[in-house]
Amino acid sequence: MNSSNNLYALENPEIENAFFFRQALNAISTPGKIFDLSCNLNTPNGLSKSAGSLLLCLCDFDTPIFLSETFNTDEIRKWITFHTNSNFTEKGNCKFALGNWEELLPFEKYQLGTDAYPDRSATLIINYEKISNNGTKLFGPGIKNYTYFNLPDEKKFKNNNSLFPLGLDFFFSYENKFAAIPRSTRIGEK
Q: Which residues bind other proteins (CB under 8 A)?
A: 13-15, 17-19, 21-22, 24-26, 28-30, 57-60, 62-63, 95, 114-119, 121, 123, 140-144, 164-165, 169, 182-184
Using the minimum distance from each CB to other proteins, give the nearer residue, 2 or 114: 114
Distance in Å, CB of 139 to other proteins, minimum: 9
Cα Rg of the chain (Å, integer):
16
What per-residue string of b and e applies to 49-82 under the rule 16 or more CB within 10 Å gives b? bbbbbbbbbbbeeebbbbbbeebeeebbbebbee
Distance in Å, CB of 21 to other proteins, minimum: 5
Q: Rounded to an integer, what distance in angstroms lies between the CA atom of residue 55 and that of residue 114? A: 24
Distance in Å, CB of 84 to other proteins, minimum: 9
Q: Rounded to an integer, what distance in angstroms lies between the CA atom of residue 138 and that of residue 140? A: 7
Q: Rounded to an integer, what distance in angstroms lies between the CA atom of residue 165 and that of residue 167? A: 7
Distance in Å, CB of 87 to other proteins, minimum: 13
Using the minimum distance from each CB to other proteins, give the nearer residue, 70 or 93: 93
